[in-house]
Amino acid sequence: MKYLITGGAGYIGSFMVKRLLEKGDEVVVIDNLERGHEEAVEKSAILYTGNLLDKEFITKVFLENKFDGVIHFAGFISMGESMENPYIYFQNNVFSSLNLIEEMIKTNTNNLIFSSTAGVYGNPTTIPIPEDHPKNPENPYSESKLM
């Protein structure tokens, strides 16, 4: 199987890349390296350095590859920073996801795993949190993930 891992040079994404390669899958990474590290990307993965806010860049990646699935980790992740600068959280987390989904629809790429946050549930009333727990994000980061 061939997977696209967005944010594959980041903390969680780079481990996902390793696990998929160990399993024998082919892996392509999109990361702009703004908050990730090129050295964290396994050499046997193909790294496209670019921004998901750049539609032409995404189209190029999808023209050059046919993916069985996409795992979307790329985004900003700090609750505190999102309180100080909500704009960049909605811009990066919402618009880049829309660009990615638009390209997936165009190319008939139908399998997406989205890395959300438990923050979408806010202060939970039940633990463990069931998936159908009411959503009550308490900061722009979590709000952008829910959106």
Sites of contact with ligand NAD (CB under 6 A): 7, 9-13, 30-36, 51-53, 73-75, 77, 92, 96, 115, 117
What is the set of active-site residues?
A: 141
Nearest distance, CB of residue 119 and ligand NAD, angstroms? 8
Instruction: Name the residue nearer to ligand NAD (CB basis): 24 or 53.
Output: 53
Q: 75: alpha, beta or left, given left = phi > 0 and alpha = psi -120 to 50?
A: left
State the nearest-atom distance from the C-beta of 91 to ligand NAD, in Å.
9
For ligand NAD, the closer of residues 15 and 24 by Cβ is: 15
Which one, 65 or 115, has the nearer CB to ligand NAD? 115
Q: Which is nearer to ligand NAD, 24 or 130 (CB)?
A: 130
Q: Rounded to an integer, what distance in angstroms lies between the CA atom of residue 94 and that of residue 116?
A: 12
C-beta of 49: minimal distance to ligand NAD in Å?
9
> CA 11 to CA 99: how far, in whole Å?
23
Residues belonging to the chain: 147
- Residue 134 contacts by C-beta under 8 Å, 6 or more apart in sequence? 121, 125
Q: What is the DSSP letter of 92?
A: I
State the minimum distance, in angstroms, from the CB of residue 86 to ligand NAD: 15
Q: Which residue has the tokens 């780079």?
A: 14
